[in-house]
A and B are shown apart, each in its own frame.
Chain A
Amino acid sequence: MSYPILSTVIFLPLAGALVIFLIKRSNESLIKWTALVLSLLTFAVSLPLFTGFDKTTADMQFRETYQWVPSWGINYALGVDGISVLFVLLSTLLTVLCVTVSWNSIKDRTKEFFAALLLIEGSMVGVFCSLDLFLFYIFWEAMLIPMYLLIGVWGGPNRVYAAIKFFLYTLVGSLLMLIGIIVLYFNTGRSFDVLQMMTTNYPYHLQLLLFWAFFAAFAVKVPMFPVHTWLPDAHTEAPTAGSVILAGILIKMGAYGFLRFSMPILPEASREMAPLMMVLSVIGIIYGGLICLGQTDIKRLIAYSSVSHMGFVTLGIFALNIQGVQGGILQMINHGIVTGALFLSIGIIYDRTHTRQIADYGGVATVLPVYAAFFMVFTLSSIGLPGTNGFVGEFLILLGGFTASNVLGVFAATGIIIGAAYMLWLYQRVFFLDVNPKVRSYKDMNLREVLTLLPLLLLVLWIGIYPNTFLSFMDASVQHLVQRVNTAGQPQMAQQIIEVIR
């Protein structure tokens, strides 16, 4: 590699945001085109991660390390492994789609909107690539501000409340994590190096405390069951692009945090807490699903479905076996694609009707047939129909979940049924039944909108039919991770036995 790919992927959008800031406000089309070109360019730059990734190793790749604050041992350290590489790609892809879907729907303050979008992209990628906890924390927090503005300025009627709620929830968690990070720093011989932490063994009671400190930050982001209440508000009030980024990537950062930090750094505590985490996940699955059945607002419904789906993800992750973790990661990607696509679709119809109430729709399939077809595929994928990506992910998770606990596996499986119920019922109410006079006069999707949804449609089918392309990325890394979680802290003997068995 001749150029630092990861740094480029992080800083290109940031530079783009600056460029957009310097363009005159009145020149809207230049602003939009700059944003589009830059996000496309970023996506293109990130593609070598896909092609040049060495799938045989669990080591970090594309590494960059520079000293940053030597007196604290802080480095600017980047790198990706099989767990994070796909999220980087997902981030760059979804940003492009966010730009195109917002093309006409953002009417005022376009300049700030696209600048904020690119700022978010840069910091999201930064979160997934950081190999230094301090750097990670900076990116983790830096993303909040543009996100706050995205919701608070371009959102729905209740936007300020939703934005502040989102920020406060996240910040409490983050600050507790910050204390955890600092404690970790002192116990790692004054280093923020994640890789070094992954090989250090910390005392058990310390691990337990740190686990909860990190849990505070990650669980809020995921969001796991008791701390999920910010999500429906934020998703519902956010503009389409904001919802897509929230659902597609932002909430994945929580689960990613568990995978990257909690589990390998604090393996014993993770093992000990796994049953509790799984129970919380299953509660989230069922609770989120049941709430969905009662929603009258499309966006809110999809938002609650995220609670349910992310429950599957954390269930898989904390099953602590290879199938579960792989399924969890794949399901995160899937959820990013599908929920992103669903929010994009809702955005497309909302641009026409300016209503999100299910009661205002009906018979959309006869008026906008192409749109209905797209929505159908995403709905089926969300349910987990075989042949779509949702099936592969949920299947792996359930496999892992059953291996870990039969009872929880059964409960989680009922979640799928509830999921099918609310998604199909939604589809019926919106697309079939009598044509609602309010939607009669609308045109079907234009080329820009089709092009926005098409890549996601292709991905849904690709992962659904041939998931191996993506699973093969994470094989080595997941194996390494699961081994670390399950063997760390055990007597040497047990490790040797496991070696022999393998």
Chain B
Amino acid sequence: MNSADFIALLPLIVPALASVVLLLLITFSRSHAVSVLFTLGSLLLSFLLLFVAGGGTPRRVTPLFIMDAYSLFFIGLLFIAGIVVAVMSSRYLGERSMERGEYYVLLLLATLGASVLAAGSHFASFFAGLEILSVSLYTLIAYRRNDDRGNEAGLKYLILAAASSSFLLFGMALVYAQTGSMDFFQLAEGGRVPDLTVVLSAGLLLITVGVGFKLAVVPFHLWTPDVYEGAPAPVAAFIATSSKGAIFALLMRYFSLMDLQRFPAVWYGIAGIAVASMLIGNLLALRQNNLKRILAYSSIAHMGYLLVAVLAGGTVAKTAVGYYLAAYFATMLGAFGVIAFLSGEEGDAENLEAYRGMAWSRPWTAGVFVAMLLSLAGIPLTAGFIGKFYVVAAGAGAALWIPLIVLVAGSTIGLYYYLRIVAVLYGRVPEGEGGAVTGFPGRVLGMTGGILLTVLTFALLWLGVYPAPLIRILQATVARLVP
């Protein structure tokens, strides 16, 4: 490794170092504010270092990492998500008697793990990044220790993530046995993967199972609602965004480098998963009354929409995935943000009925929430619409009619439960206490929450109304994945 390698890797080194320093720091001062500020500062520094690291041309740092425009974009997205989650957590933890400092250590490391995935170009970094991410999440999910659901969720995630990791490892071993390389770029070179042998397809199948668990696509989705429900709201936001986004980034790199779409078996496999996720994710959400569970199922469906773009392949599809993920990040973080900031010590604000009539007593908070829901539903003027539009455009460009029809059906079903939430927000509180507007009894957002959610809402509308700048960025970064 020379100094140029070192500079290229700085965005990954800083959070790693920061987590260790923070660990030392909390032995001296357990001040919550110090931990929060330190975390935010280091994430911000890492984010800024991306611009330094992005100065050079695509650079492979050992066979494990590739710091090109593609990974820089996704790492940037992950850092922003990390910052948002940290801000969300600052208030969430500030009001509860939990261990605070360690939370941020784990959050930093989880973000690091996600970034390692986004920059990974080798099975070793794939696995290492995934493990850092998962192991941090085991603890983060179970962070509400005196909550039974939290413990259950943590344990469930631990067992399933460990099982899925072993599937993944075995799949990697089979792929290695067949191709003799763990390096994505070597695999991409001609002749390594001439055709889909039985061993290779078994390996890919096992990798799919392992990754499918992490992405929570059907049929590997069963853990999702319980874990989302049990995890603290900011952690659920992290699982829904960073954890999935990072794996998706890596998966797309792997797929397009190996050009796996050319094999019909792989193609149909993904198509099946996409279709099943879109339908089942949306259908299962219909009967839920817990917001976190609804968002969990909704995230399953969204992964299905994204896979449609992966099926399409090509430059448009890559830009579509990038845009969709950015929009999805902003939206999911906003939706979970509302829940996180409204949660009190007695539990997370996840019960749908508790939100009845909120639009009348807290029009702005409800407005933000509605904007997020509409964006999830893909209604115009929100980022979600442009994302969905992009995906549909990619799909139509590749003539994927059946997945597109399913996408339409899924979106319609999805709209139903999003509208149900909107109907509750704008619903009437049962008459009795004074007749007129009684409204939402919950807490207020507070200043941090207000600022954060306003920023997210503006991002959402900005991306939805004027998508040109982000598209330009994506065309300069994500679309250049395979030169």
Question: A residues within 8 Å of B by Cβ?
Answer: 21, 68-72, 108-109, 112, 137-139, 141-142, 144-145, 148-149, 152-153, 160, 163-164, 167-168, 171-172, 175-176, 178-179, 182-183, 185-186
Contacts and interface: CB of A to CB of B under 8 A. Distances in A.
B71 to A, nearest CB: 22
Interface string B134-149: 0000000000000000
Interface in B361-405: 363, 374, 379-381, 385, 389, 392-393, 396-397, 404
Contacts of A138: 380-381, 385
Given A21-B363, A142-B379, 19 more contacts: A68-B466, A69-B471, A71-B468, A71-B471, A71-B472, A71-B475, A72-B471, A112-B359, A141-B385, A145-B374, A148-B419, A149-B422, A160-B427, A178-B392, A179-B392, A182-B389, A182-B392, A182-B393, A186-B396
Contacts of A69: 466-468, 471
Contact of A152 (B363, B426, B436, B471): B426
Given A137-B380, A145-B374, A164-B416, A175 B468 contact: no
Nearest to B427: A160
A164 B412 contact: no
A167 B415 contact: yes
Q: Size range of the interface on B?
A: 20 to 34
B206 to A, nearest CB: 35
B155 interface: no
Interface of B: 359-360, 363, 374, 379-381, 385, 389, 392-393, 396-397, 404, 407-408, 411-412, 415-416, 419-420, 422-423, 426-427, 436-437, 466-468, 471-472, 475
**Closest 6 A/B residue pairs (Cβ):** A138-B380, A175-B408, A182-B396, A141-B380, A69-B468, A182-B393
Given A69-B468, A152-B423, A178-B389, A186 B416 contact: no
Contacts of B412: 168, 171-172, 175
Given A178-B389, A186-B397, A142 B360 contact: no
A179 B408 contact: yes
A183 B408 contact: no
Contacts of A112: 359, 363
A171 B437 contact: no
Contacts of B381: 138, 142
A139 B422 CA distance: 20
Contacts of A178: 389, 392
Contacts, number: 80
A167 B408 contact: no
A153 B466 CA distance: 31
Contacts of B360: 109
Contact of A176 (B379, B408, B468): B408
Contacts of A172: 408, 412
A160 B356 CA distance: 13
Given A108-B436, A164-B423, A186-B397, A141 B468 contact: no
B393 A185 contact: yes
Nearest to A143: B380
Contacts of B467: 69
B321 to A, nearest CB: 16
A225 B197 CA distance: 54
B352 to A, nearest CB: 14
A153 B419 CA distance: 12
B153 to A, nearest CB: 32
Contacts of B466: 68-69
A183 B379 CA distance: 20
A175 B423 CA distance: 22
